[in-house]
């Protein structure tokens, strides 16, 4: 019974305290807390962050998403009370809509560009402190440095800006600033370790900015879990690099050298397609992984050249033996082999006859293309003298916070296209100074039309305009004076992403359409970061183009010409699948990159036709050789007797071997004997050999290729 009486008394005290608080002027008029602070004692807001998890880092869009718990606290001098007057109550829960709360905006690059979410209720204590907490997802821009990918560490930061000129943020964090003090992985640590990233360090800081009292930020240092990339990317690439020299262990007569190298090249192209999906487009330095990939490409290219040289030498040796054995369809009628004692061995005779009569056989084995999205932090200033007051009459109060809906405000439009504009909503509150000057600040994400010229894509620069126009309700236009504060932000933050800002300036645009007066505009000059495209598109395409003429260095007898070109075409198709994802669709003229792609495809097609001509000519030659071999009786030379006996001593053997070798070389390179009439009939239609065709086509395709690359890179000034 006593307990119930105490509870009733506590409820009455709580209800009375809340009623008194709601009747206070600071609550009724939502007076900002900083208006009661003196200049020597600045108003502060303390933000405590509990980092829970790094959810994701989007390397393409360069955004980091985290889960964090924020505890925000500030002191309002008009919200104090004596606990003894209210039954010892030290705290009170108030609705956030009943009182003034600071308007904080997440900076920079918030994905949704909204004010930071705060809870619906606030906790007040008798000392005047207001406290609230929230658990939320936070997405912010993070410059990704992938030079050491996937063994990289990323340092990202985000912070808060405010619209109140008298407000100062003081940031504190739950963890200490050193990685050893973080206690990551301990039972009591709130940070959750799973996913791709682990936390290394977490700190807080602030910077002073012109026209802003203070910019406060949190900084995170995270480390990538690299085991996944070692297994699926690095290890296969290293293994591929090690496998390339093994091509020289493949016997030449197997006919598998070129197909082996082409398979390696196709596999590397597939790896490139995967790597390009995880590599950000705005590269400022060459990643080490890209260097490894380039090394594999170059090693494969050089190994292909070496394999072609080996095959050519092997084919030359085979042809020399073939010509010697088939010159005039040489007929061996008698062969005698003697051992050391001059005794003939039937087994040796049969073996030598088989070798002499055997003829070597050849082996035939994305976004709207015309739009630009920017993030702007805009400050509006205008003057209304009728709202001025004498600050000395109001305890030297020089600034008040006014509701936007209670005042006249200009209608500001951003011109986002020809004849199209978007109203820029002002924030809910405005700062009104005693001189009648009004000011508001807000962050905007604007998407506007910008005609993009893709002719030199990806080495292109773009110029875009974003205009501003002010209209009053009566329909008369007003002038705008714009001032840029871009430089101080670029000093604080690195420029990341696919685009880099070259210049930005204000210009005056003549009136057009429904806008009857000249209006000011921001002129952007943007330059695309092209390193990503050079690594993933241009270099592989140029290398593929250079590999196509090498098909004419492959001997036709290997049967590898067509399979080589088919594999090259397959690799180009893989590149085309990737290029379709990065090539803009709204094209007004043919980009140089498309010209390079078309050239590679056309070169491969013509090389296929030329290779078919060479292969058909080679088979015609083979038929001619066989027709000559089937008529041994019409040969002009015949070996009637061959006797092979060992020499009695080494000196005479060496002298005779030297003499025989000279005779053999002379006979091999002497002019071939004249064929019979029937034989000449089979060869009369063959004027150029397949080997000569290969040489002609190789020189022709190589010259055209070099000429084309010089034109597109030098004459057309693509770079």
Domain 371-528 has what CATH class? Answer: mainly beta
Average pLDDT of the residues in 471-483: 53
The span from the CA of 356 to the CA of 686, in Å, is 28
Average pLDDT of the residues in 202-225: 70
Q: What is the pLDDT of residue 475?
A: 45
Average pLDDT of the residues in 559-584: 75
Q: What is the pLDDT of residue 717?
A: 66
The span from the CA of 214 to the CA of 233, in Å, is 45
Domain 9-224 has what CATH class? Answer: mainly beta
> Greater confidence, 235 or 517?
235
Q: What is the pLDDT of residue 337?
A: 43
- Closest C-alpha to 340, from 653, 693, 655: 653
Question: Are the C-beta atoms of 551 and 308 separated by less than 8 Å?
Answer: no
Q: What is the pLDDT of residue 37?
A: 52
Q: What is the pLDDT of residue 518?
A: 74
Using one digit for the tens of pLDDT, what is the confidence trace for 270-299?
A: 777 777 776 666 666 778 887 888 888 788
Average pLDDT of the residues in 447-454: 80
Give 561's pLDDT tier (boundaries 50, 70, 90): confident
Lowest mean pLDDT among 144-158, 445-459, 704-718: 704-718
Using one digit for the tens of pLDDT, what is the confidence trace for 683-717?
A: 344 467 778 888 888 888 888 888 888 887 776 66
* pLDDT at residue 395 greater than cutoff 80: no
Containing 129, the helix (H) or strand (E) segment is strand 129-141
Average pLDDT value for the chain: 71
Using one digit for the tens of pLDDT, what is the confidence trace for 316-358?
A: 776 676 666 655 444 444 444 444 444 444 554 454 344 444 4
* pLDDT at residue 182 greater than cutoff 70: no
Q: What is the pLDDT of residue 622?
A: 72
User: Which tokens belong to 463?
Assistant: 């110029």
Containing 380, the helix (H) or strand (E) segment is strand 371-383
> Greater confidence, 353 or 610?
610
Residue 544's CB is within 10 A of a number of other CB atoms, namely: 22
Same fold, 9-224 and 371-528: yes
Q: What is the pLDDT of residue 5?
A: 52
Three-state secondary-structure class, residue 562 = helix
Question: Are the C-beta atoms of 549 and 698 separated by less than 8 Å?
Answer: yes
Rounded to two decimals, the pTM is 0.57
User: Any residues with CB less than 8 A from the CB of 582 and at least 6 apart, and which?
Assistant: 281, 533, 537
Give the best-scoring range by mean pLDDT among 59-73, 380-394, 657-671: 380-394
* pLDDT at residue 509 greater than cutoff 50: yes
User: Any residues with CB less than 8 A from the CB of 43 and at least 6 apart, and which?
Assistant: 33, 34, 37, 74, 75, 166, 167, 168
Using one digit for the tens of pLDDT, what is the confidence trace for 137-150?
A: 888 878 778 788 88
* pLDDT at residue 547 greater than cutoff 80: yes
Locus of tokens 């773009």: 462
Give the best-scoring range by mean pLDDT among 44-53, 354-363, 627-636: 44-53
Average pLDDT of the residues in 576-585: 69
Q: Which residues pair with 518 in a beta bridge?
A: none
Lowest mean pLDDT among 172-181, 620-629, 696-705: 172-181
> Greater confidence, 608 or 514?
608
Q: What is the pLDDT of residue 516?
A: 59
Average pLDDT of the residues in 589-617: 84
Buried-state track 611-637, b at ≥16 Cβ within 10 A, e below 16: beebbebbeebeebeeebeeeeeebee
User: Which tokens belong to 631?
Assistant: 């008529």
Using one digit for the tens of pLDDT, what is the confidence trace for 18-30?
A: 888 888 888 887 7
Question: Are the C-beta atoms of 697 and 554 separated by less than 8 Å?
Answer: no
Domain residue ranges of the chain, discontinuous segments joined by +? 9-224, 371-528
* pLDDT at residue 86 greater than cutoff 80: yes
User: Which tokens belong to 683?
Assistant: 């060869």
């Amino acid at each position: 019974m006593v307990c119930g009486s105490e509870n009733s008394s506590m409820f009455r005290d709580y209800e009375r305290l809340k009623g008194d608080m709601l009747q206070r002027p600071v609550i009724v008029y939502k007076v900002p807390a900083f208006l009661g602070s003196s200049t020597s004692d600045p108003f502060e807001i303390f933000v405590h962050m509990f980092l829970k998890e790094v959810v994701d880092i989007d390397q393409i869009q360069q955004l980091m998403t985290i889960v964090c718990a924020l505890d925000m606290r500030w002191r309002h001098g008009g919200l104090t009370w004596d606990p003894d007057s209210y039954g010892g109550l030290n705290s009170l829960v108030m609705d956030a809509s009943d009182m003034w709360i600071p308007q904080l905006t997440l900076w920079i690059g918030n994905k949704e560009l909204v004010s930071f979410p705060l809870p619906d209720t606030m906790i007040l204590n008798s000392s005047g402190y207001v406290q609230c907490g929230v658990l939320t997802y936070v997405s912010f821009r993070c410059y990704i440095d992938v030079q050491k990918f996937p063994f990289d560490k990323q340092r990202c930061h985000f912070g808060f800006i405010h619209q109140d000129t008298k407000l100062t943020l003081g940031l504190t964090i739950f963890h200490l600033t050193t990685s050893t003090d973080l206690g990551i992985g301990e039972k009591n640590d709130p940070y959750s370790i799973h996913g791709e990233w682990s936390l290394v360090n977490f700190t807080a800081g602030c910077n002073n900015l012109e026209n802003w009292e203070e910019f406060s930020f949190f900084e995170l240092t995270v480390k990538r879990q690299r085991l996944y990339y070692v297994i699926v990317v690095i290890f296969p690439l290293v293994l591929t690099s090690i496998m390339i020299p093994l091509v020289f262990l493949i016997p030449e007569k197997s006919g598998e050298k070129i197909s082996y190298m082409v398979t390696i090249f196709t596999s590397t192209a597939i790896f490139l397609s995967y790597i390009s999906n995880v590599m950000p487009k705005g590269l400022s330095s060459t990643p080490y992984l890209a260097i490894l990939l380039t090394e594999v490409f170059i090693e494969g290219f050089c190994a292909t050249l070496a394999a072609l040289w080996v095959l050519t030498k092997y084919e030359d040796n085979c042809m020399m033996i073939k010509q010697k054995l088939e010159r005039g369809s040489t007929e061996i009628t008698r062969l005698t082999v003697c051992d050391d004692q001059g005794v003939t061995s039937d087994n040796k005779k049969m073996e030598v006859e088989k070798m002499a009569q055997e003829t070597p056989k050849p082996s035939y084995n994305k976004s709207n293309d015309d739009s630009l999205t920017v993030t702007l932090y805009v400050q509006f200033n205008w003057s209304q003298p009728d709202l001025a007051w004498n600050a000395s009459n109001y305890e030297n109060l020089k600034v008040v916070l006014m509701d936007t809906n209670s005042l006249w405000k200009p209608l500001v439009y951003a011109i986002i296209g020809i004849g199209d504009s978007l109203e820029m909503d002002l924030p809910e509150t405005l700062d009104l100074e005693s001189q009648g000057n009004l000011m508001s600040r807000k962050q905007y994400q604007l998407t506007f039309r910008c005609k993009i010229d893709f002719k030199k894509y990806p080495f292109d620069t773009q110029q875009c305009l974003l205009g501003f126009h002010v209209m009053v309700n009566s329909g008369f236009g007003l002038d705008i004076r714009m001032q840029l504060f871009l430089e101080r932000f670029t000093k604080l933050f690195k420029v990341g992403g696919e685009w880099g800002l070259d210049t930005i300036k204000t210009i005056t645009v003549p009136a057009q359409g429904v806008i009857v007066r000249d209006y000011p505009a921001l002129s952007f000059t943007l330059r695309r970061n092209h390193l990503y495209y050079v690594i993933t598109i241009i270099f592989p395409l140029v290398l593929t183009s250079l590999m196509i003429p090498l098909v004419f260095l492959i001997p036709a007898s290997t049967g590898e010409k067509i399979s080589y070109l088919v594999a090259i075409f397959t690799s180009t198709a893989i590149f085309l699948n990737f290029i379709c994802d990065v090539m803009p669709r709204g094209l007004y003229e043919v980009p140089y990159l498309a010209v390079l792609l078309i050239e590679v495809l056309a070169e491969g097609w013509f090389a296929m036709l030329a290779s078919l001509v060479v292969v058909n000519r080679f088979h015609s030659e083979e038929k001619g050789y066989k027709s000559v071999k089937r008529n041994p009786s019409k040969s002009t030379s015949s070996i009637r007797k061959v006797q092979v006996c060992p020499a009695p001593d080494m000196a005479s053997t060496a002298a005779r071997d030297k003499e025989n070798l000279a005779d053999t070389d002379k006979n091999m390179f002497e002019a071939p004997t004249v064929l019979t009439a029937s034989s000449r009939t089979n060869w009369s239609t063959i004027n150029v050999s397949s080997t000569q065709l290969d040489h002609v086509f190789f020189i022709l395709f190589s010259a055209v290729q070099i000429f084309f690359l010089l034109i597109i890179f030098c004459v057309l000034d693509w770079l």
